Amino acid sequence: MDYYSTLGVNRNATEDDIKKAYRKMAMKHHPDRGGDEKQFKQISEAYEILSDPQKKQMVDMGVDPKSQQAGGQRQQGPFEFHFNTGNFEDVFSNFGFGGGSGGFGFGGRQPQRNKTINITVDLSLEDVLKGKDLDAELAVPGGRKKIINISIPSGIEGGQQIRYQGMGDASIQGLPPGDLIVNIRVAPHPIFRREGDALIIEKNISVWEAVLGCNLDLQTLDGKKLTITVPPGTQPETVLSCRNEGLPNMRNRQRGNLLINIKVVIPRNLTAAQIAAVENCKNGF
């Protein structure tokens, strides 16, 4: 197998180039997303080889690391690649959600590897709507800093974790790189509240607007301006809905709804004339 072609990189690719190519290919071909399991295993195998400096050097010398070690000795057992095919938001073993371990094994046994690194990423609700690419700074053993680019998918929820395999510590040569676990934290929004894929906003109207009906102007999370019609006779706590103006669903990418919770404001401290007018209106019903 041509490991470079499998990952879609050339022989001059850097370590970061190889990692980025692997992330892209793994997301595209993972069986949980409808990809081919055999092709996914080949991609994982290519990354395991090319991310190891010693094995990469053997490939560049025309030696297959699967069948030989340095000095021409055969390895004791075949490569085995283990990945979880559970649901998407729980564990995506090579680029996944949740707490699965994933990883490569030899003879069915998990090898020793470099350390897993945990970081926390703070997002706004706008970031959740659009997704976000960012440069993360990792503290690796030896007091060094490592900058990597990661992609946060849209629709993610606060409290979820994303596991990026092979993007953690790689300070010990000859061992597989550790994983990176990103813990997601989403800041409260001053206007919108999230419930699943739905966004909720509260709008106040007067008693007269509830009785007679009115139009409400509002702005969606992505800046779109809408005019909502409140029908005559609307009751307090009525919920109006705007389709596809909420947040994207991580499974099917469809957007939820924007829900407008109508609050009817009862006036206080009416004047005598206002009270009389209300009494006249009441007597007319």
Indicate whether 22 and 75 sit together in one domain.
yes
pLDDT score recorded for residue 139: 85
CATH code, domain carrying 233: 2.60.260.20
pLDDT score recorded for residue 46: 87
Indicate whether 224 and 165 sit together in one domain.
no
Indicate whether 140 and 225 sit together in one domain.
no
Compute the distance between CA of residue 252 and CA of residue 263 in angstroms, rounded to an integer: 33
167-187 pLDDT, tens digit each: 888 888 888 888 999 999 999
Indicate whether 158 and 222 sit together in one domain.
no
Six token digits for residue 135: 């440069």
What average pLDDT is seen over the chain? Answer: 81
pLDDT score recorded for residue 108: 43
Indicate whether 67 and 174 sit together in one domain.
yes
Compute the distance between CA of residue 102 and CA of residue 40 in angstroms, rounded to an integer: 13
Residue 13 has pLDDT above 90, yes or no: no
Domain interval for residue 85: 3-186
Indicate whether 164 and 238 sit together in one domain.
no
Number of domains in the chain: 2
Q: State mean pLDDT over 2-23.
A: 87
Instruction: Count the alpha carbons within 13 Å of 35 in the hemisphere toward its beta carbon.
Output: 20
Indicate whether 40 and 107 sit together in one domain.
yes
Answer with the one of 128, 157, 186 that is the final residue of a domain.
186
112-133 pLDDT, tens digit each: 888 899 999 999 999 999 999 9
Indicate whether 156 and 277 sit together in one domain.
no
Answer with the one of 171, 186, 201 that is the final residue of a domain.
186
Indicate whether 173 and 152 sit together in one domain.
yes
Indicate whether 270 and 167 sit together in one domain.
no
161 Cβ partners below 8 Å, 6+ apart?
Answer: 97, 98, 99, 181, 182, 183, 184
Task: Report the amino acid identity of residue 199.
Answer: L
Compute the distance between CA of residue 285 and CA of residue 266 in angstroms, rounded to an integer: 19
Task: Report the amino acid identity of residue 217.
Answer: D
Q: pLDDT band at residue 269, thresholds of 50, 70 and 90?
A: confident
271-281 pLDDT, tens digit each: 888 888 878 87
Compute the distance between CA of residue 51 and CA of residue 266 in angstroms, rounded to an integer: 66
Answer with the one of 162, 186, 210 that is the final residue of a domain.
186
Q: State mean pLDDT over 24-35.
A: 76
Six token digits for residue 47: 């990354």
Q: Greater confidence, 142 or 107?
A: 142
Indicate whether 21 and 130 sit together in one domain.
yes
Indicate whether 182 and 197 sit together in one domain.
no
213-255 pLDDT, tens digit each: 999 999 999 999 999 999 999 999 999 999 999 999 988 889 9
pTM: 0.57
pLDDT score recorded for residue 157: 93
